[in-house]
Amino acid sequence: MRAVCWHGKQDVRVDTVPDPEIVQKGDVIVKVALTCICGSDLHLYNGYVPTMKKGDILGHEFVGEIVAACPGVTHFRVGDRVIVPFPISCGACWYCKHELWSLCDNTNPNSWMMEHIYGDTGGGIFGYSHLYGGYAGGQAEYVRVPFADVGLEKIPDGIPYEQVVLLTDIMPTGYQAAVYCNINPGDTVAVWGCGPVGLLAMKSAKLLGAERVIGIDRFPDRLQMAHSQCQAEVLNYEEVDVAEQLQNMTGGRGPDSCIDAVGLEARGTGIEDVYDLVKQTLRLETDRASALRQLVRACRKGGTLSISGVYSGFIDKFPMGAIFAKGLTVRGGQAHVHKYLPHLVKLVAEQQIDPSSIITHRMSLEDAPAGYRTFLKKQDSCIKIALTPEH
């Protein structure tokens, strides 16, 4: 089959690789109908995650049809159209039983790596390096999906793949970011990053009752989409002092909640142009943490910082003193997709949300290398790219 493979920093290629096979109880094989490139894929693309190997298949946002199922799989059969959450969860461990699906104890065969770095482990993720289990990803014609009975969600008849593909990751991620804000009527929620995650976080904040949402970015077309699709007031962080402006806009108090939808691509003084890991480490303080520090500065006392952007390693000079003094709540982490999926599918079916409205580019899987370049540079007003395998 054809699959998008990682070959090095900013080097992805569409290769011919062996088809996946069923290897353990609970597996199904999904024929991918649609798959997206995520901001999280950019961290791998940029070489920020050193646990990738040449030839690893990328992609954790994909939907498709089951073409083979292990006899033990009971909830699904061949022919079912399914949504596949990006975290892989066993459904049986303490974390899964407490709806902390992305922290599953049993699906990361390389959990020792994460334990070594962070002292604890997260679950497996499709196409997200050996740190997250080394699973082959879904930017491919076919993919092996373990624990199918636990994770998958059937796509209701009549709903096109495009309307649900973002339910695999960024819609639940944006939704969780808003849920973590504990929004009360009248609240103002500020969102750093008007990329796909930020936009869906803003839509979710509105859905959950926020009176005002404020989107922060530097790309005019992204700010424009935040304004037109999410009724957001917008700030260009290259033009204003964001924290100061946010306080002015909220009677001097600051937003009730602040969402980080930026993560490792945070732009301070040019992290995008720094690919050397050593240089990155030296520049951590000035670049990577810039958006995070603004969140802390801007948020009102007693407010919440909801961090959906992906961070790794150590983010130095995180202003712990200010977090304590202002009595802030900090929440974050990989989205527990399984928890929100049934509700979000219902909202799509009832036409209360249409996450596909942020897809700006539709390309063939074969064009993935050009897609990654366009998405990285945010060229051509690119917000979200969907890839279709040709089969």
Task: Write out the residues near ligand NAD by the rule CB under 6 A.
Answer: 38-40, 42-43, 169-170, 173, 192-198, 216-219, 222, 237, 261-267, 290-291, 308-310, 334-335
C-beta of 29 vs 103, nearer to ligand NAD: 103
* Shortest Cβ 133–ligand NAD spacing (Å): 15
C-beta of 332 vs 369, nearer to ligand NAD: 332
* Shortest Cβ 99–ligand NAD spacing (Å): 15
Cβ atoms 121, 105 nearer than 8 A: yes
* Shortest Cβ 68–Zn ion spacing (Å): 25
Q: Read off the tokens for 330.
A: 């900090």
Query: Which does residue 267 bind out of ligand NAD, Zn ion, none, counting CB within 5 to 8 angstroms by kind?
Result: ligand NAD
DSSP string, 244-287: HHHHHHTTTS--SEEEE--GGG--SS-GGG---HHHHHHHTTTT
Which residue matches tokens 């303080």?
285
Q: Which residues of the chain form contacts with Zn ion (CB under 5 A)?
A: 38, 40, 169
Query: Which does residue 187 bind out of Zn ion, ligand NAD, none, counting CB within 5 to 8 angstroms by kind?
Result: none
C-beta of 122 vs 389, nearer to ligand NAD: 122
* Shortest Cβ 315–Zn ion spacing (Å): 20
Query: Which does residue 261 bind out of Zn ion, ligand NAD, none, counting CB within 5 to 8 angstroms by kind?
Result: ligand NAD
CA distance 332 to 206: 19
Backbone angles phi, psi at 350, to 5 degrees: -85, 5
* Shortest Cβ 69–ligand NAD spacing (Å): 27
C-beta of 170 vs 235, nearer to Zn ion: 170
Q: Which of 178, 177, 155 is nearest to 168 (CA)?
A: 155
C-beta of 111 vs 294, nearer to ligand NAD: 294
Query: Which does residue 45 bind out of Zn ion, ligand NAD, none, counting CB within 5 to 8 angstroms by kind?
Result: none
* Shortest Cβ 274–ligand NAD spacing (Å): 14
Q: Read off the tokens for 163.
A: 């309307």
Query: Which does residue 32 bind out of Zn ion, ligand NAD, none, counting CB within 5 to 8 angstroms by kind?
Result: none
C-beta of 61 vs 256, nearer to Zn ion: 61
> Residues near 64 by Cβ (< 8 Å), separated by ≥ 6?
30, 31, 32, 33, 34, 81, 82, 84, 138, 143, 161
Query: Which does residue 218 bind out of Zn ion, ligand NAD, none, counting CB within 5 to 8 angstroms by kind?
Result: ligand NAD
C-beta of 22 vs 363, nearer to Zn ion: 363
The DSSP H or E segment spanning 144 is strand 142-145
Burial 77-111 (b: 16+ CB within 10 A, else e): eeebbbbbbbbbbbbebebbeeebbbbbbbbbebb
126 DSSP 8-state letter: B
* Shortest Cβ 389–Zn ion spacing (Å): 18
Q: Is 63 helix (H, G, I), strand (E, B) or coil?
A: strand
Q: How many angstroms separate the Cα of 224 from the Cα of each of 14, 48, 192, 228? A: 33, 29, 14, 6
